[in-house]
Structure 1
Amino acid sequence: MINRSSRDPAYQQLADLLRADIATGRIRPGQLLPYEGRLAQEHGLGRQTVRSALDVLRREGLVITERGYGTRVAEQQDRQVIRVPRGALIRFRMPTEAERAEHGIEAGSVVPVADVWLGGRLRGTYVGDRTDLTTA
């Protein structure tokens, strides 16, 4: 439920509600979300507010919007744990088109990659939504 007296903007509250539904499995991977007009009506919001909430979830890689089809929950990849040596430099950036194709990063999703450098040499490039980096 959207709290109109909250300090958090309505779009962020809606994004939080939808994120919780995704995390708990109420809305499953591959499942379409209700269309914008329905979400707006159900929550008493304007369509632009709903679009802003969906944009937050797209940037997080949780949903994918396809023109003419709708917005669906992204399939979550298994996470890989990579041990990074102490002293390594980790740089995050957006992937190139070639890296998107190589790693299967869907068009429309905003998923960064992490370059791990050690001793001035690139040791690996990892996709942000499916990799955990650890020094342990």
Structure 2
Amino acid sequence: MIDPDADQAIVEQLADLLRDRIRSGDLAPGALLPGEARLTEEYGLSRTAVQQAMALLRTEGLVSIDPTRGAFVCTSEPAETVTLLKGDTVSARLPTPVEQRELGAGDGVPVLVVFRADGSRELYSADRVRVGR
């Protein structure tokens, strides 16, 4: 449940509850999430708080939002593992529209930029990659 007196913001609390339902399989890939009206009523939150929680889950690549139909659980794709070698670095940022199209990245999903020690650069959609050493 949501605790307005907790140290954690209510937006984060709602995102955590929904994230847990997604990761547990209670909300399966492709499932429609409860609507804004239902969540505001069920948890006693403002519409803005619900929208912010959904936006947070969208940026994490867990949900996609269709303005006319609602929010859906994203289907998980197998994660590729990118191995970092000595001298390699990685950073995250939002993609340009061209990069988003080329990578097939969802709205709000960041990209990981791998800078190799040899000067080359690789770009990955952050929801489809793991970085390891």
TM-score (norm 1): 0.89
Map 1:1-136 to 2 at 5 A: 1-106=1-106, 109-119=107-117, 121-135=119-133
Distance 1:46 1:40 in 2: 6
The answer on whether the counterparts of 2:91 and 2:114 sit within 8 Å (CA) in structure 1 is: yes
Return the offset for 1:42. Answer: 0.8
Q: What's the secondary structure of 1:99's corresponding residue?
A: helix
Counterpart of 1:32 in structure 2: which amino acid? L
The answer on whether the counterparts of 1:11 and 1:50 sit within 8 Å (CA) in structure 2 is: yes
- 1:52-85: CA deviation from partner (whole Å, max 9, x where unpaired): 1111111111111111111111111110111111
**What root-mean-square deviation, in Å, do the aligned CA atoms of Structure 1 and Structure 2 show?**
1.4
Gaps of 5+ in 1: none
- 1:34-67: CA deviation from partner (whole Å, max 9, x where unpaired): 1101111111112111111111111111111111
Q: Which moved more, 1:119-128 or 1:86-95?
A: 119-128
TM-score (norm 2): 0.91
The answer on whether the counterparts of 1:90 and 1:114 sit within 8 Å (CA) in structure 2 is: yes
Return the offset for 1:120. Answer: 5.1
The answer on whether the counterparts of 2:59 and 2:110 sit within 8 Å (CA) in structure 1 is: no
Count the aligned residue pairs: 133
Q: Which runs of 4+ in 1 moved over 4 A?
A: none
Name the % identity: 36
Q: What's the secondary structure of 1:85's corresponding residue?
A: coil
The answer on whether the counterparts of 1:115 and 1:122 sit within 8 Å (CA) in structure 2 is: no
Distance 2:99 2:105 in 1: 8
Return the offset for 1:117. Answer: 1.9
Return the offset for 1:123. Answer: 4.0
The answer on whether the counterparts of 1:63 and 1:74 sit within 8 Å (CA) in structure 2 is: yes
